[in-house]
Chains A and B, each alone.
Chain A
């Protein structure tokens, strides 16, 4: 179960990770060993088990009431942003 360089490049692209060319071979090796390790699961005898939805039996995701609970903190939150103008996050031009 080894991955190819092309597969790893595709995964990195899907994950939005820039990997320098000289590091790619290392990821091919380590990701291949991880995939080989988890491949053990293919031999697992699991009968008719359903995929687990929650560790606590019978518990479901709670929903909250549709009410406004948050107040405006945008200035405090945007203090962590790399680039902000007039309360907006700035990114490179997307639309020409």
Chain B
């Protein structure tokens, strides 16, 4: 039952030579072979490359090297460039794109000895909340395969929940790590904007995008984030600040921790969801934390603000896909304009086209001030309100999603209803704050997430608070039936 062990336990077995990374890698590859047809969580599986990386890790272990991640398998979201391996971003546009270099995240985790098994399915260009916009077909939720796993990093989340690997990477622009983590019963952290390099991570909305980690616990996520985080001169928004010891911080007691409860998060909350949050808060109070009400009056504007800012940046970022230098090209273009229009029209799916057009509209002459500039002002107000709240409390706690996983196909025809799935997660992206989701119970036999939001660069505190909760509860140890 290697797939049930925490990565600390696996690292011990590897260090003491009771297990090799090749054996561990084969164990997870066998699980993928068995369960992947039911889930469609992966776009690319590369067993040969994985076994070569595992042999290299075993050689490092044999030389006496050690490390918390050396020889541990992982799955990368297919948004991260991987040298020599197809990097599709879930799009027909990049179906034939073989990345010519590694993303910093990929490079750093490989240097730490992690073994990439494959690339995870995702909403096309990370635009979606259900993993249904992928060119490679929808991902299914291992807790109920008639349900979505959330998105956009739904393949990474489903793969972690189904124990395809102990760790997967993801990206979070409006909730794309936390929402799927919640809907699949695992732990996912989005760090502070600028904490992890965006180099080699295909851009959606550059002022919001941030890479993070999926794991089964905060204790497993901490050493992975440690290895990913830190200054990278190749990303102009990477922050040049020391990375604290996340693993050491896990053990800090929570006595005296001041937890803020956002009034705006609880106003229309489903009573079953509210009961789960209340039960989690009772655990925190029993550990010596205090709770108090705080308010961010402008928070209800976060979803419309996001759906101006993110499409605007998307329309600009995705202009690079022109059918000339890489990606899909239409057949027999009659002139250059036809080449651009048809290559993009054919290469992008409907949701990506909707967002590009929304962005084009809000940035166009006559609408720029009314939409884009206004949204950036509201974004500043929301950020200032978060800052004021963190002058009073150490951490904000609330729900991650309004509901558990919904049925495949239930919301695909109504973009605005789909967008409202991210109502509790978007605020942290607008303000650039670190935030985590972890399992806190079930509604109708489907997992629900508890969200922890911290001030800028407080990843230690967020992981610490999550770990202390997980020491006193066992929601994070529940596995979907059939995948145990």
Contact = CB atoms under 8 A, between A and B. Distances in A.
Interface of A: 3, 8, 11-20, 23, 26-27, 30-31, 33-35, 37-42, 44, 46-47, 49-52, 54-57, 59, 61-62, 64, 73, 76-77, 79-83, 89, 91-94
Contacts of B329: 82-83
Interface string B303-316: 11101100000010
B348 A55 contact: no
B98 A80 contact: yes
B236 A61 contact: yes
A76 B377 contact: no
A46 B193 contact: no
A91 B305 CA distance: 38
Interface of B: 96-98, 100, 192-194, 207, 233, 236-237, 239-240, 298, 301, 303-305, 307-308, 315, 319, 322-329, 333-342, 344-346, 348, 350, 353-354, 356-358, 360-362, 364, 370-371, 373-381, 383-384, 387, 414-416, 419, 430-432, 456
Given A17-B353, A31-B358, A34-B307, A46 B381 contact: yes
B339 A91 contact: yes
Contact of A41 (B304, B358, B383, B432): B304
B428 to A, nearest CB: 10
B301 A30 contact: no
Question: Which of A12, A20, A93 has the most C-beta atoms of chain B within 10 angstroms of its own C-beta?
Answer: A12
B402 to A, nearest CB: 16
A2 B370 CA distance: 16
Given A41-B304, A76-B100, A94 B370 contact: no
A37 B237 contact: no
Contact of A37 (B344, B381, B419): B419
A56 B358 contact: no
Contact of A17 (B207, B303, B345): B345
A51 B364 CA distance: 17
A11 B342 contact: no
A81 B97 contact: no
B364 A14 contact: yes
A41 B354 contact: no
A38 B308 contact: yes
Contacts of B207: 54-55
Given A15-B356, A41-B371, A92-B339, A34 B415 contact: yes
A80 B341 contact: no
Given A11-B360, A41-B374, A52-B379, A17 B307 contact: no
Contacts of A3: 361
26 contacts: A17-B353, A18-B345, A19-B353, A27-B357, A31-B357, A31-B361, A33-B414, A38-B304, A41-B304, A42-B370, A42-B374, A44-B381, A46-B374, A49-B381, A51-B373, A52-B377, A54-B237, A55-B207, A55-B383, A59-B194, A76-B100, A77-B325, A80-B98, A80-B326, A81-B324, A82-B328
A45 to B, nearest CB: 8
Nearest to B371: A38
Contacts of A56: 192-194, 239, 432, 456
B100 A41 contact: no
A35 B358 contact: yes
Nearest to A14: B360
A55 B431 CA distance: 6
A82 to B, nearest CB: 4
Contacts of A79: 98, 100
A15 B378 contact: no
Contact of A80 (B325, B337, B383): B325
A18 B341 contact: yes
Contacts of A91: 324, 336, 339
A50 B431 CA distance: 15
B472 to A, nearest CB: 33
A34 B345 CA distance: 20
Contacts of B374: 41-42, 44, 46
